[in-house]
Amino acid sequence: MRSLFMVALLLCASLSGCLGEDLLLTEDCSEFEATLREDDGVLRVLTYDIASLSEEFLQDFTNETGIEVELIRADDAGSILEQVLLYGGAPQVDVALGLDGSYLPFAVNRCLIHLHGVDLTGLDGAVLEEGASLTDHGVPFDHGYICLNVDGAVVETMPTSLWNLTEDEWTGKVAIPSPLSSSPGRAFFLATLQGLGDDAWSWWEAMLLNEPIITTGWSEAYEIHYSGGYGVWEEGHIGDAAATVSYCHSPGVEAYYSDNNTQSTAIALPGAVYHQIEYGAVLAGAANTTAAEAFLAHLVSPEANAQMPYENLMYSVLEGADLPETNGYRHHSLVPEDAAAALGGMDVATLEVMLANFSALLEG
Amino acid sequence: MRRRRAVLAESLPLFGLALVILGPMIVAVDRLWAVTGTSPIAAALDLSPTGQQALWTATALATLAAVGTIVLGVPVAFALAATPDPWRRRFRALIALPFVCPSIVAAVGFLALMDLLGEGGQRLRGMSVWPEAGPGTVVLLVAMVWFNLSLAVRVVEPSLARADPRYLEQLRLLPQGQTLAGRIQAWWAQLLGPGLMAAAGLTFTFAFTSFALVRWLAPDTLTLEVLLAEQGSGAGIPGYRVDLSRLVLGAAVAQAAVLLIAVSVINAMQRRHAFALDAAPSEAVRSGLASGLWGEAWLRWTVCASAAAFAVLPLVLIGVGSVRMRTPEGWTMSLDGWRRALAGDAGGVTLMEAFWSTFHTAALTVALAVPAGWYLATQVHRAEREGRARLARIIDLLAMVPLVVSGAMVGLGSLLGLLRFAPGMLASPWLLPVAHATLVLPIVVRVLLPAMRQMSPDFEACAATLGLGPGRRFALVRWPMLRPATVVAAGLALAFSLGEFGASWIVVRSTDASTLAVLVDTWLARPGFDPTTRPAAMAVAVVLGTVTMVLMVFLERWREDRVHGGL
């Protein structure tokens, strides 16, 4: 038995890396050539569980263009990026839908995204401006702001600074999705880096000493730990957090589904607000780039995109679009004036280092 | 020459299966090794604090679950064995339900139970087994015991129900049988010890690799399986989060090492357990048991009824949860959750689409797993009969590898292997059934092998003497004797595939397929601002739970007095 194990070990050692593909990364995209996916007549879209991609939406698109669509569902934005990176230059899908400004640059940096030709006329100017570095590669299809949400029924004095959250009265009462595994968590992390500047790491050190509830995803933080959201109605709610990281319009969504009732409030603390823009991108090596671009154009068409606040609980990217007033949706939603965006001038390598540093800080 | 060809022909499928079982793991290890520049053993020995914590948490929780399952399972097995029919059959069918209950359904059921308990449930939900384990681990532990209780009963009760009480009577006359301790050592430990150890080993393995239960009942708790499943998708990417790849490599090796030990114990104990069985008329056994403590009807009824209620309650609550919906004023009864699940706006997948996709996958899984399992069990049994114990152990271990290897490693290896050698297969509808068949192989082998061991070789020898060829010997002797075990194996494979979550969760990321288990998770994972979201998840869970439960009741009828010694 032992000899068998040794043989297996030696075999693996000698093979290490041989079974895989060339692991060298391309630095110059002009030298990069993706392997074209074989065109089987079906447009394959890799996305997370975006509700707005309903059967009706897909059917409308197929009726208009004659193109069949197949959805491949990843868990979240991080999983979409990881699949795109893992496929490398041999994509098995045509479109990646749902990468935000903090994830898309990773794929762009590796030459995995095709420059699209979708007409962006009619989309929100501010969104296009903030995402200027990415709009050649990605088509923005929805957006929203990340904020701290606070339970107004529990908290008597609202925090006015992120540093308030490091004080005793907030010990163990703030739920934060991890920047390592959650896109709202990463957005919040980037907001602190961009907003607090040199003080960001001091704040994280102080915050982590104050026993925050770090969760793997947004759902765990908002639904299970946050005491001010719909989670109080759900099975298995714990409710030990009086504040959490969520969207600035989450209280508006709460109100929309509860006849204009909510005890949750969004607050825009300096260094804690991020403008998240989600993109659809055609992958380098896509089987049919024309069909992929038609799909993205359909997604940002006025008829389809106006439904974003209802179906995807995000802002539409159409010029002049706002949240609906119904049931206090707009009334309870905060639109912050200053927000961090994209990578804030940082390159992806630096962000990787920052995430590794955060991981090390978390490990203690 | 002909003999050598025959041996080669018989060995070829073994090599093919070894490739399917081991190939993805080798590809994944190879890639992670190349990306991190760290050998698997070095990665395991240099596990980060997060990995170490996940290893400790998983081991401690699984050990506690194994102990708890045995402590609760033994009295239930005694009470069942002492209960006369038809109630014994009825109770046994109910207690057996959790064994094939899809883990995601169980998770939803326990969430519903916490809700029913109100503030008490919320307090319970926040409790940790130990401070660092994280809130929800007490409920998680109870759910793990709930899941495996029937396993302990399934393994122990047949031994009790068939053990001749006259041995015990005779032992009482001997000096060693004068004291309770002596009787436990000389009789009960011999009779039940191997079975209990095998059940504890299986419980440990299932609890150690539990994913859906941890994900939903103790979401802040990190075990190795959760770490690998949730972080595994980001591993193996050159130049991207190398720390993550190293963590996944080390965690996968650590997990395999722990499970290898557990599986070795299970195999060894199951071999001994098979020989510990003895046959005695049921009535004699029951009268023997009824002469002692278990003769008290109230005790038997209390234990059996409590165990049955414990088994069924979470499942009943899912049904209630599917029609209970919150409103701004409070709770109301509504079918909106069912309507939403049937209309299917969770990524466009309707309940019925997922239902048929699940059945299609499960049917293909059975078609692949049963012949493969039969073949592997036959090879192990033949090697044992020919006295080649080492070969038998190697093939047995090969069959158990899917229990040992993390689903994340299999997923990563399959993805990389297919990308490299057959990218077209990534979207293939066969991908999920192949993954399920590989995972269910150990269970099929564990059911068929004991049945083969109990089959006397004299029957086939006799048939050969009468001039029957291999085909007729199979049709007239081997198949009729192994048919009940095969039906049970096929049923378990079907039930397992219907409710399988972990591998499906990984594999469906590269296909457009969906299963009921994944659909439950999809609904649960959606933001619940809309009050119909959670009832929709419950509705899908009701359908999944009902299908597997009906299958289990059918299987129990087949298993009764036909199949012994296996799962």
Mind listing the pLDDT tens digit for each residue in B353-375?
888 988 888 899 999 999 999 98
| Chain A residues with CB-CB distance to B509 below 8 A | 72-75, 79, 83
Mean of the per-residue pLDDT values for chain A?
A: 87
The DSSP letter of residue A134 is T
Return mean pLDDT, chain B.
Answer: 80
The dihedral built from the CA positions of residue A108, A73, B221 and B25, taken in this order, carries a sign that is: negative
A14 contact partners, CB below 8 Å, separation of at least 6:
none
What pLDDT was estimated at residue A278? 94
Q: What is the DSSP letter of B235?
A: T
Q: How many residues does chain A have?
A: 364
**What is the C-alpha end-to-end distance of chain B, expressed in Å?**
41
- Does residue A2 have a pLDDT over 50? no
Contacts with A83 from chain B: Cβ below 8 Å:
233, 509-510
The distance from CA B271 to its chain's CA centroid, rounded to whole angstroms, is 19
Contact B111, B142 (CB under 8 A): no
One-letter amino acid for residue B459 of the chain: F
> What are the φ and ψ backbone dihedral angles of B69, each rounded to 5 degrees?
-65, -45
Pick among A19, A149, A186 to test the B interface (most B CBs inside 10 A): A19
What is the band of A24 on the pLDDT scale with cuts at 50, 70, 90?
very low
Burial of B107 (0-12, 13-18, 19+ CB in 10 A): buried
Q: Please state, in angstroms and rounded to a whole number, the distance separating the CA atoms of residues A130 and A315.
A: 15
pTM for the model? 0.80
Give yes or no for B424 touching A (CB within 8 A): yes
Local confidence band at A203 (pLDDT 50, 70, 90 cut-offs): very high
Nearest C-alpha in A relative to B325: A233
Residues of B in contact with A231 (CB under 8 A): 528
Asked if B216's CB is within 8 angstroms of A224's CB, the reply is no
- Chain B hits for A213, CB-CB cut-off 8 Å, are 220
The reported pLDDT for the residue numbered A142 is 94
Taking only residues 1 to 40 of chain B, the set having a beta carbon closer than 8 angstroms to any beta carbon of chain A reads: 26-27, 29-31, 33-35, 39-40
Q: Give percent above pLDDT 90 in chain B.
A: 7
pLDDT digits (tens, 9 = 90+) for A99-112: 999 999 999 988 99
- What's the pLDDT score for residue A22? 47
Residues of A in contact with B419 (CB under 8 A): 21, 86-87, 90, 92
Reported as a pLDDT band with limits 50, 70 and 90, residue A4 is very low
**Does residue B86 have a cis peptide bond before it, meaning omega lies within 30 degrees of 0?**
yes
Any A CB within 8 A of B245 CB: no
Q: Which of B416, B511, B531 sits opposite A257 (nearest CB)?
A: B531
Q: How many degrees, rounded to 5, is the angle at CA A199 between CA A194 and CA A203?
A: 100
Q: Which residues pair with A96 in a beta bridge?
A: A46, A281
For residue B328, the SS3 value is coil
Write down the residue that tokens 């094939």 correspond to. B100
Longest Cα–Cα distance of chain A, Å, equals 72
A174-177/A243-247 β-pairing: parallel
Contact B509 A87 (CB under 8 A): no
CA distances from B103 to A19, B206, B310 (A): 35, 10, 16
| Distance (Å) from the alpha carbon of B253 to chain A's nearest alpha carbon | 13
Minimum Cα–Cα distance from A40: chain B residue: B424
**Matching CATH topology for B1-29+344-567 and B54-222+281-311?**
yes
- The answer to whether B346 contacts A49, with C-beta atoms less than 8 Å apart, is yes
Selecting from B217, B230, B505 the residue whose C-beta is nearest the C-beta of A181 gives: B230
HSE-CB at B323 with a 13 A cutoff on CA atoms is 7
- Using CA atoms, how far residue A94 sits from A75, A87, A98, A134, A292, in Å, is 18, 12, 13, 18, 7
| CA proximity to B486, closest of B362, B371, B400 | B371
Name which of B137, B155, B153, B154 is nearest B62 in CA terms. B137
A93: nearest CA partner in chain B: B510
Model confidence pLDDT, tens digit, residues B155-205: 777 677 666 666 767 777 777 777 777 777 767 777 777 778 888 888 898
Contact across the interface for B423 and A92, Cβ inside 8 Å:
yes
Range in A43-57, B362-376, B435-449, B529-543 the model is least confident about = A43-57
pLDDT for residue A162: 96
Residues B354/B519, Cβ–Cβ less than 8 Å: yes
Alpha helices in B37-136 (DSSP H): 40-45, 49-82, 87-100, 103-116, 118-125
Closest chain A residue to B137, measured at CA: A236
**Residue numbers of B between 135 and 154 with CB closer than 8 Å to A:** 135-136, 139
Q: B-chain residues within 8 Å CB-CB of A221?
A: none
pLDDT tens digits along B217-244: 888 888 998 888 877 778 888 888 888 8
**Tokens linked to B34:** 């190349």
Chain A residues in contact with B108 (beta carbon < 8 A): 235
Among residues B526, B84, B495, B142, the alpha carbon closest in space to that of A75 is found at B526
Averaged pLDDT, B269-282? 57
How is residue A36 annotated by DSSP?
A: P
Fold adopted by B54-222+281-311: MetI-like fold (1.10.3720)
What's the pLDDT score for residue B410?
74
C-alpha count within 13 angstroms, C-beta hemisphere, residue A333: 24
Find residues 180-219 of chain B whose CB sits inside 8 Å of chain A. Answer: 216-217, 219
Q: What is the pLDDT of residue A294?
A: 95
Domain boundaries, chain B: 1-29+344-567, 54-222+281-311
Specify whether the CB–CB gap between B85 and B294 falls below 8 A.
no
pLDDT score of A297 more than 90: yes
B425, closest residue in chain A (CA to CA): A92
Q: Smallest CA–CA separation between A220 and chain B, in Å?
A: 7
Encoded tokens for B107: 């998770």
List, as ranges, residues 498-527 from B with C-beta within 8 Å of A. 505, 508-512, 514, 522, 525-527
Quote the CATH superfamily of domain B1-29+344-567: MetI-like (1.10.3720.10)
What band does B506 get if pLDDT is binned at 50, 70 and 90? low
User: In Å, how far is B523's CA from the nearest CA of chain A?
Assistant: 10
**Coil vs helix vs strand at A276:** strand
Cβ neighbours of A16 in B, within 8 Å: 30, 33-34
Of residues B563 and A311, the one with the higher pLDDT is A311
Q: Say if the Cβ atoms of B26 and A356 lie within 8 Å.
A: no
Q: Residue B425 CB: number of other CB atoms within 10 A?
A: 15
Q: Name which of B127, B241, B351 to mutate to probe chain A: the one with the most chain A Cβ atoms within 10 A of its Cβ.
A: B241
Q: Which chain A residue lies closest to B227 (C-alpha atoms)?
A: A216
Taking an 8 Å cut-off on Cβ atoms, the answer to whether A219 and B527 are in contact is yes
For residue A259, list chain B residues with Cβ-Cβ distance below 8 A: 328
Q: Is the Cβ pair A86, B509 closer than 8 Å?
A: no
For residue A230, the distance in angstroms to the closest alpha carbon of chain B comes to 6
Point out which residues pair with A149 in neighbouring strands.
A244, A266
CA A2, distance to chain mean position in Å, is 48
